[in-house]
Structures are given as structure tokens and as C-alpha cells.
Amino acid sequence: MAAELTAPPKLAARGLRVRRGGREVLAIDALDVPAGRTLAVLGPNGAGKTTLLLQLALLERPDAGEVLFEGAPARGRELRLRRRMAVVFQQPLLLDRTALANVETGLRLRGVGRRERRARAERWLARLGVARVAGQAAHTLSGGEAQRVSLARAFALEPEVLFLDEPFSALDEPTRVALVEDLAALLAETRLTCVFVTHSQDEAARLAHEVVVLIGGEPRQVGPPEAVFTAPTDPEVAAFVGIGTMLAGRVLCREGGVVTLDAAGQRIEAVDERAFDEALVCLRPEDVTIAPAGQAGAGSARNHLRGRVRRIVRTGVDARVEVDCGAPVVARVTARSLAELGLAEGSEVVASFKATAVHLIPR
């Protein structure tokens, strides 16, 4: 464990700046990719996720700053270092040849001998479940098959660092789920260093040890997925990770680790030891329950806000219920409870949540 703590990160960005058309699209003062771990790069469209990946994968030169590989600058030895890494892009980007030949191409470029090449390619096509398309031309493969061949091509290189740029976003849901599970198993087994660009929190939570949220080309928060998703450090990250409710609050009093705030004219209790006078009260929709006014009060929730249902948006099995409690509070309710509670737009309700479910962003 101690060795792991003192070892330099596999990859690191220092003072990295990338400009496009006079606009700065990436500004990273310091970011580390620890060895043997998976780092998910999350962020909205245009946040610079792919730009960051291309920088770390040494596929583009920065306008300023540098990338360190195992603590030493990568500049000047990009080709050699690229041959120790592999990238899977959003599109399979296969060459116009057979699946097998595609997997062998990278190995050939890295000087792997003919017999070893063939063996590794066949082994990894089998591992990704696409052995039966080995002899098929790349352009005849389905999207899922092609992406599996692309993954096999990357894993066959047995890289020290694997980059994945939204590799599943173009696939249908069952294929995506199956591939994410395969990839999770592979990452756990190989213990390679992985940088995984995605805009899916599910994928990040499933695959990553650590998450960095990129907004406007800047890393806003780095940490384990649970921490980032439940305790964002700024409103933009909060909005991106799906915090449905954000209320401006003022501290009224503190007692034994419990903070009482005034938000939207109502009292809210939260668990927080930090010192501040004002904070943003953040709630995830799944932490808020809704009940018709008069039926609330039961359960362990300390907070109950009265309000009126302003909008109900059905999303398949779930519904997103916006309640006007002086300020909007958002809850996620299953379609069944929605029907059982007889909720409709305009209903008088109480939104309840535990003090421990409240996350505060000091202002």
C-alpha cells in the first residue's frame, strides 16, 4: 500500500493548455492518473473530455504545459510511449480488412512476431466473444461486433494504459450493458491503468475508481464516484451529476453536528460539521419522497417541506416530480407510487428527506 502511495502516477498533466480557434478548450493545472486504477472523465458535451484524452494519449501536442509518463516528460518520446498504450474511440475505426487482420495490425506495428500476433489476436477476439467473425471483413460487422473487435484490438496490445473514449455510446442498450460488464471484468483482471471518457454516470460508477468532472475545459472535482455524485463541490458539477434540487440557504443554528438552515422560507436540517454562514442545499431526486399533505410525517425523515406539484415528467418506470415549496424541489417517484398516491399537477404535497441526504455547498 505504501509503495502505491509513493509511486509516481502513471500519467500526469501539468499546466496543460489547448487552444482551438483562439479559444482555450482545455486548462488543466494538475491531474494525475494513478497506476493500476481507472479514472473516468465525466462532463457535458464540449467540456474537453476527448481533448484531454488525446493529450494524455500523446496524440496531440498541447499549446502549453506537458504530460508526464511515470513522472518524466513524454515530449520527444511520444511514439515509443504510444506503443505502451492503447485507445478505443467512440467509433470502431477499423481498417478495410478482416477482423483478425485488424487486431493484428497494432501488434505488427509494435514488432510482435507473426505467430505470437496470430495467437494473441485469436485469443482476444475469443475473449471479447467475437471469434466467429475473425475472418469477416470489418465493414460487414454489426456495430456491437465492430466495437468488440476494436476493444479486442486494444486489449491484444496488452497496453500499460488503456484509453476509452465513450466506446459504448453508439450501441443499443443490451449491447452496451453487456460490454460494460465485460469491460468491468477485464479491468478487474488486468489491473491496467485506464482513462475512461464518458457522459454516463452509470458507466463511471460501474468502472471507475476515481472520477474527474470536466466543465469548460477545467477539472472541477476529482474523487471517488460516490463522493462526486453525492457531494459535488460546486453548483455546475451538482447540476451535471444530477442533483435535482439546489436551494440557497442561510445557517440559523448548529447543534451537535446538525445544521439548521433557512431555505425558501422553510427550515431544513442537515448533517455538516464545516463552518459557513450560507450554503447551497443540494438534494438528489431519489432521496426525496413525496406524500399528499396530511399523510406525511411518518418515517425517519427530519425534513418536511410543504408545497404544490408544479410538473410531472414521466420517464418510463419513473416520474420526475417538481414541487414548488417556495423554491423548486425535485423528487423521483416510481410510476406506481405516483398512481397510488393519486398525485397530479396542482396537488398539495409534502416533500420529505433525511438530514443525512442533504449535501451542502458552502458559499
Point out which residues bind another protein (CB under 8 A). Answer: 54, 57, 59, 79, 82-83, 85-87, 89, 91, 93, 95-98, 105-106, 109-110, 120, 123-124, 126-132, 135-137, 139-140, 142, 144-145, 148, 153, 157, 163, 174-175, 178, 181-182, 185, 189
Q: Which is nearer to another protein, 22 or 256 (CB)?
A: 22
Among the listed residues 86, 105, 83, the one whose alpha carbon sits nearest the alpha carbon of residue 95: 105
Query: In Å, what is the CA distance from 137 to each residue of 70, 121, 170?
Result: 38, 15, 20
Q: Which is nearer to another protein, 7 or 95 (CB)?
A: 95
Q: C-beta of 274: minimal distance to another protein in Å?
A: 44
* Cβ(107)–Cβ(119) below 8 Å: no
Distance CA 73, CA 53 (A): 17
Distance CA 341, CA 352 (A): 14
Q: Which is nearer to another protein, 172 or 278 (CB)?
A: 172
Q: Which is nearer to another protein, 206 or 302 (CB)?
A: 206
End-to-end CA distance of the chain: 36
Give the three-state DSSP class for 285.
helix
Q: Which is nearer to another protein, 7 or 59 (CB)?
A: 59
Q: C-beta of 353: minimal distance to another protein in Å?
A: 39
Q: Which is nearer to another protein, 116 or 340 (CB)?
A: 116
Q: C-beta of 48: minimal distance to another protein in Å?
A: 16
Query: In Å, what is the CA distance from 31 to each residue of 27, 34, 123, 245?
Result: 11, 10, 35, 30
**Identity of residue 67:** V
Q: C-beta of 206: minimal distance to another protein in Å?
A: 15
Q: C-beta of 10: minimal distance to another protein in Å?
A: 16
Q: Which is nearer to another protein, 183 or 246 (CB)?
A: 183
Give the three-state DSSP class for 19.
strand
Q: Which is nearer to another protein, 145 or 322 (CB)?
A: 145
Q: C-beta of 9: minimal distance to another protein in Å?
A: 20
Per the listing, cell 471518457 goes with 197
Distance of CA 302 to the CA centre of its chain: 31
* Cβ(275)–Cβ(269) below 8 Å: no
Give the three-state DSSP class for 24.
strand
Among the listed residues 294, 297, 292, 285, the one whose alpha carbon sits nearest the alpha carbon of residue 309: 292
Q: C-beta of 183: minimal distance to another protein in Å?
A: 10
Q: C-beta of 126: minimal distance to another protein in Å?
A: 5
